[in-house]
Structure 1
């Protein structure tokens, strides 16, 4: 028995013939010539090695083997139809999986709300999120370990397609009574007289502060390194140092811990977070939909 060459057209024809009790009627439903339909049925019988139909002047009836073949053929065709429906969902973007890597600033300020709104509209799309440093995000995109990345501007990313996502503002966070709290706004250079708590040196935020202190030829007085904005604010509350972090991320911590937020006057304190992809044309429909949701009119798919 060799069923490897039996195709779906033949199975659908056989089901139609069995239901109508006529090869000619089954041929019409399958949009085949009667001779071509008869040949397909004969080839199917040859493949299974036994007659499937009793051929009579008034039509055809299923043999016992034909009834078994009919049951399996119906099941196969229903499975194919279900498969087509599921794959159609992937093709239309209503189902799928998207891997997104984002830096801490994006996740703590904007991404959670944006993803919640997106998933409410597209509940069958699975989004996997990983929090990483901006440089690592670019590497993951280049190595196809992530579909979409969100990272800070100034991160080397010339091999990627980048789109503007959100703008954030860096501010100083200080404990109540600190000398910097006497000012409504300060220049970065004025903060360098005090000890700092910051994130690890390979984050985009730490790199920016080091770059700016080097540019004005002043040492950056980093006393403590931690892994999160929450830990930074706890160190500030303890009076060990001041910190610089994005305003939206700082505000809830400042309110809960009675810290002061002081704006920076420096132009570079306004940063652009950007969405990056390796190859926009190679993205799945689900990824394209998410890029459009995040970037709005800036998206090439809008």
Structure 2
């Protein structure tokens, strides 16, 4: 993808499988939203080849669009609509695209229960709290029972309970309905909990692709084991922390105290990868502003 003379995406190559949850991470200005918009068919790529559910998004028909769901960071709507009325109304657009295997739309009452809005069904949208409003965003994105769901910062504004409920919903969509989910988030803990695969975008390229554990082992280095024995403190770095701790107790038994095993986290991995990439959101944003 090029804005003016600046290439903000270069050789971005990946595949996602049915029922897979993929997280796209990267610093501000890395091109995450642009990548998502190209896949959704809302932005035309400058070059390259893209297939989403077997179709070039730039040529996607209404039948193709009925198969995808989108949850934006924010969008404008009619605040006077009531929650249930809006979801039921939007659902009617998907009814003609039901298939023998996928019945569209999602039943309105079941949908509200799934996202935790049953108690707010009769409320006007303008009266909802920020967290309730975000749940409605998610409900709108999945009302058509999408085969592929795009989530852009989906839990922004959620309280801890709402975030936990949303995570459970994502797992149900992927596990029970084989919905493919591509999400962007700045919450690394959330990405680690939700995603089967994590891709890190920096400098206009995907610089890492794998599970959180795989990336940590390959990139962030070894585990760190700390313990005390006979009044002395010890630290050991090892790729086989479980085996090391087992051997430690076999040799010293109850003499081992204050044991701590620190595994490389997704945050460690992420920071190790994006540092030194020379990526700046300012350069990306300036190029995009000029192009527009």
| Fold conserved between structures, TM > 0.5 | no
**TM-score normalised by the chain length of structure 1:** 0.24
The higher radius of gyration belongs to 1
**TM-score normalised by the chain length of structure 2:** 0.24
